[in-house]
């Protein structure tokens, strides 16, 4: 009976360690974050080259 308990305990420990193993989620999140950073850098660079014109409401009303 003691051998059965030992094997059961070993099985439970092996199963729990397999369940908690890293599934690659951290790497996927890091790739997504890196891709977002690259896109934002391109966006900022594009905005610096071609700034958008923003007018305030007071100027538009004064021209009318």
Residue-wise DSSP of 37-48: HHHHHHHHHHHH
pTM recorded for the entire structure: 0.43
Per-residue pLDDT of the chain (64 residues; tens, 9 = 90+): 688 888 888 888 877 766 665 666 777 888 899 999 999 998 888 877 776 666 665 555 555 5
Cα gap 10→3, rounded to integer Å: 10
Domain ranges for the chain, please list them: 23-51
> Which residues lie below 8 Å from residue 48, measured CB to CB, with a gap of 6+?
none
For 20-29, how does the pLDDT look when each residue is reduced to its tens digit (9 = 90+)?
A: 656 667 778 8
Half-sphere exposure of 36 (CA within 13 A, CB side): 6
């Amino acid at each position: 009976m003691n051998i059965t308990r030992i094997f059961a305990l070993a099985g439970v420990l092996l199963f729990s360690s397999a369940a908690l193993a890293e599934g690659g989620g951290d790497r996927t999140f890091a790739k997504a974050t890196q891709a977002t950073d690259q896109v934002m850098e391109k966006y900022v660079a594009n905005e610096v080259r071609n700034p958008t014109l923003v007018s305030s409401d007071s100027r538009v009303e004064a021209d009318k």
